[in-house]
């Protein structure tokens, strides 16, 4: 029979898995408490970083319907439960891992799909949501401008042709 404190920990982890839209599993071996505090501060707003027990995490992930983390649950593990922008959180983890090589990104889950460490790095290399939305808006605006130009082109060409005919007629009348 499970102890109440372990059952509560599994329930809490299950809730975190269900509430977050992404989770990144890391290994924190060799990091100091001050460094972990700095990492938590850099992720605040987008994610919560929690040190977890592997067995309890595997049970909680299974209960939440999250697959793909079982193979990476070895050694001292911590998970970043991402509730905000996954790209920003992935950038924060990648940048912290560059500055502190002791933090190893092992695996992750994004919208129910498992991610490898390479996938998380690719996610971190993406531009932020706002920048991507601005680029998409620019593309839409440019295509609308081009469509408006195409619709007005025949009318303006007709006006230029009529003006050329008038000038030609005027020059013929003066010559005659």
Strand order in the sheet with 47-52: 47-52, 77-82, 22-27, 104-110, 113-116
Strands (E), 45-164: 47-52, 77-82, 104-110, 113-116
Of the candidates 82, 98, 99, 100, the one whose C-alpha atom is nearest the C-alpha of residue 43 is: 82
Query: Which residue, 40, 51, 56, 129, is CA-closest to 86?
Result: 129
The CATH number of 3-126, from 3.40.50.2300, 3.40.190.80, 3.30.420.40, 3.30.70.1730, is 3.30.70.1730
**Global pTM value:** 0.68
Strand, helix or coil at 66? Answer: coil
pLDDT tens for each residue of 54-100? 888 888 888 888 887 777 788 888 888 888 788 888 888 888 888 88
Q: Using one digit for the tens of pLDDT, what is the confidence trace for 96-128? A: 888 888 888 888 888 878 888 888 888 888 777
What sign does the dihedral 31-80-94-107 (CA atoms) show?
Answer: positive
């Amino acid at each position: 029979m499970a102890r109440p404190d372990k059952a509560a920990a599994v329930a809490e982890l299950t809730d975190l898995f269900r509430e977050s839209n992404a989770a990144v599993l890391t290994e924190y071996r060799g990091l100091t408490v001050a460094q972990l505090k700095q990492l938590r501060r850099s992720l605040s707003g987008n994610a919560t970083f929690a040190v977890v027990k592997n067995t309890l995490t595997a049970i909680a992930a299974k209960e939440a319907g999250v697959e793909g983390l079982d193979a990476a649950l070895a050694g001292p593990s911590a998970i970043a439960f991402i509730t905000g922008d996954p790209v920003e959180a992935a950038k924060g983890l990648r940048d912290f891992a560059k500055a502190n090589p002791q933090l190893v990104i092992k695996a992750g889950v994004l919208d129910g799909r498992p991610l490898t460490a390479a996938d998380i790095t690719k996610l971190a290399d993406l531009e932020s949501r706002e920048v991507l939305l601005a680029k998409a808006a620019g593309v839409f605006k440019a295509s609308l401008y081009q469509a408006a130009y195409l619709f007005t082109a025949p009318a303006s060409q007709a006006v230029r042709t009529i003006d050329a005919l008038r000038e030609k007629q005027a020059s013929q009348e003066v010559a005659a």
